[in-house]
A and B are shown apart, each in its own frame.
Chain A
C-alpha cells in the first residue's frame, strides 16, 4: 500500500475512533445525570441546560434544577476530569518508566498525595490556617501535589538505573510507600477531630461524593492545565518507547521531558486526590485497553485515554451509587474490583511473554 494513503486512512480511522469514544462519553454523562434517588429524566436534563443557556423553557421544578445543578453536575464534571487525568497520568508514567505495570496508585503516588492532604487537614487548625480561606483552598491540592511528586521521584530514583527501570523494585517500592502512607494516614486521622476528617476509607479508597462547584473551580483548573500539558507530549513519549538514550539521539530533551511529565502527572493526581481520595487502577486499565484497540502511538493514546478514563470513572460512579442505593459505595471499590483482576491478567501476560 502507498505510504501516504495508508497514513491518511489511519489518521481518519483514529479520528473516527475518538469520535465514537467521545459519543460514548456523552451517553455516560447523560446516564450519570439521570441516575439517583431524585428522579430526573433526560429531557428534563436537556431542559435545565437550555434554561441555563438562557433559552425560555416552561415547567421546570426548581428542586430538580437544584439537584441537577448543585449536586449531580459538579460530581459528573469531577468524575470526568479526575478519571481522564488519572488515565493520562497513567499513560505518561508508563511511557516514562517504559513499563505497562506503572500506575499512580500502584507506585504509591496517590497514597502519597492522600497522606499530605490528610496532614494538611489535620494540622491546619493548629498552625492557624483556615481551609476555607484562599490559601487553604489551594493548600490542600498543592500539598497533595507535593506528596505525589516526592513519591514519584523517590520511586523513580529507587527503581531506575541508566534509564532502565527495574519493575520488581518499582512495584515493591510502591507496596512500601502505600503501606507507609496508609499507616501515617491512619495515625494522622487518630489525632484529628471528627469535623476535620470524614473517614479513613474516603482517603484510601476514594469517593466522588465531595464534589462541589467551589472545589471544582480550583481543582478542575489545576487538573485541566496539567492534563493539557501532558497531552502535548505524544512525540516525546513515542521516542521514549525506544529508550532514554535513543530519545536523546532523536532530538528529545530527555531531562526536561521527564521532569515536566513527572511534575504535571503528580499535580494532576495530587489535585484530584485532594478532593476524591486515592482512586486506584484507572491509570492502569485505561491505557492498556486503549493500546490494545488503537495501538501504542501516543498521538491517539493520550486523548483516547482521557476520554476512556472519564467514561470508566463515570460508569464506576454510577455503579457505586446504584448498587447499594440509597447508601453509596466508595467509587474506589468499583475501580479496584475492575482493576485488580486486570492487573493480575497483565502480570500473567508479562510472565508468559516478558514483554507487553
Chain B
C-alpha cells in the first residue's frame, strides 16, 4: 500500500500542494482528476520519489520512501511519463527492454517481455525505430516498458503510475489500455493514473481524487466523488453526470445543458432589470 499523511509541497513558501492524505491499495485504480495547474503532476512527482516533499509522510509497502534507493524504488513501482522523447535511434524493442534494468539476474525477463509485448500489442512494430512510430504506438511501447519493470510475480505489491497514458491514442486504443490496466490490477499491482477524459475515469476508476489549486477537494470511491455537483465545483464549469438508462453506467456531459443556459439567461435578465 502506498500511503501519504499530510503530504505537502511548496516552492518559496508558496504552497503548491496542501496537505494530502491518500492511499493506493494493490488491486485498485485511483484516478486523479483536476483542471490544469491543479498540482496533479507535482503529486505524481512526490509519489514516485522524483521530488522530495516539504512535509508529511510517504510510505510504500510501509517503507518510508526517502529510505529507498533508486533501484529499490524501481523494483516497487514503475512510472509512465506523459511525454517521453527518446534521443537517438533506438528500436521499440530496445526501449521496451529498458524495463528490465532493475530486474534481478535470475528473473525470467525475456518471457515477461514476450508477455507484455503481447498484451500491449507492440510485437508488430518491435523492430522498427522509435521515431518512425505514431504517437499512440510510442505510448504503447512505453506502456510495455513500464509494465515489464514490475510484471514479475512477487509476494510484495507493486505500483504503477500513469500520467495521461492515453493522450495520443484513438478511442479504441484508450479502452484497450484501460482494460489492460484492469488486468494489471489482478497482479497485486495498485495503479494511480492522471486522466483527462472524465468518461474514461467514470468507467474504469475504483477511487477518485479531485484536485484543484493544490487542494484535495474530494477523495473517495468513484460513485461518491464523481457527482455533477463535485465535478462542477472542481472544474469551475457545468458538468452533468447522467446514468445511462440502458447500460447502467454513468455518462458525463461537459457542455452546458439547456436548463442551465436558461437559468443563466434568467439571471442576466434579472440583473439587468434590477
Residue positions of A touching B, CB distance < 8 A: 1, 3-4, 6-7, 98-100, 235, 238-239, 241-243, 245-246, 248-254, 291, 295-297, 355-356
Contacts and interface: CB of A to CB of B under 8 A. Distances in A.
B50 to A, nearest CB: 5
Contacts of B146: 249
B44 to A, nearest CB: 10
B70 A246 contact: no
Contact of B88 (A235, A243, A356): A356
B84 interface: yes
B269 interface: no
A311 B73 CA distance: 42
Given A246-B81, A250-B101, A4 B110 contact: yes
B34 to A, nearest CB: 21
Main secondary structure of the interface of A (DSSP, over half): loop
B166 interface: no
B128 to A, nearest CB: 12
B171 to A, nearest CB: 27
Contacts of A243: 81, 84-85
7 contacts: A243-B81, A248-B49, A249-B50, A249-B73, A251-B73, A295-B91, A355-B87
Interface string B90-133: 11011100110110000000100110010000000001000100
A252 B50 contact: no
A254 B89 CA distance: 22
A239 B40 CA distance: 25
Contacts of A356: 88
Nearest to A287: B88
Given A251-B101, A253-B70, A295 B95 contact: no
Contacts of B98: 238-239, 242, 250
Given A243-B81, A250-B102, A3 B89 contact: no
B74 A250 contact: yes
B69 interface: yes
B48 interface: yes
B194 interface: no
Contacts of B74: 249-251
B70 A241 contact: no
A246 B84 contact: yes
A3 B91 CA distance: 14
Contacts of B86: 241-242
A141 B190 CA distance: 53
B42 to A, nearest CB: 13
B88 A241 contact: yes
B78 interface: yes
Contacts of B89: 291, 295-296
Closest 9 CB pairs of A and B: A251-B74, A251-B102, A296-B88, A249-B79, A98-B87, A251-B71, A250-B101, A253-B70, A296-B90
**Most chain B CB inside 10 Å of its own CB: which residue of A7, A98, A246, A249:** A249
B140 to A, nearest CB: 15
Nearest to A7: B110
Given A242-B86, A245-B81, A249-B78, A254 B70 contact: yes
Interface in B56-84: 69-71, 73-75, 77-79, 81, 84
Contacts of A251: 70-71, 73-75, 101-102
